[in-house]
């Protein structure tokens, strides 16, 4: 998923970080706002679940 996100959004990204964790956490934060959390949904994210909110912010 990271490859696809970078492919689509790289021109708009000023910085990008991956923070390793345990317990199955996968969270996407943009400018301090949580836009997806596997911990909240209990599900693996589909690409559009992450990409759509990113597009909305552009």
3-class SS of residue 51: helix
Q: What is the mean pLDDT of the chain?
A: 90
Mean pLDDT of 18-28: 84
Neighbours of 36 (CB within 10 A): 20
pTM: 0.78
Q: Which domains does the chain have, with CATH numbers?
A: 2-57 (3.40.30.10)
Stronger pLDDT, 24 or 35, i.e. the higher one: 35
Q: Please answer whether residues 49 and 55 qualify as being in contact, where contact means their C-beta atoms are separated by less than 8 angstroms.
A: no
């Amino acid at each position: 998923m990271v490859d696809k996100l970078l492919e689509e959004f790289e021109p708009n990204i000023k910085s990008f970080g991956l923070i390793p964790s345990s317990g199955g956490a996968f969270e996407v934060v943009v400018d301090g706002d949580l836009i997806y959390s596997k911990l909240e949904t209990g599900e693996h994210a589909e690409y559009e679940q992450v990409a759509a909110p990113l597009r909305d912010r552009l």
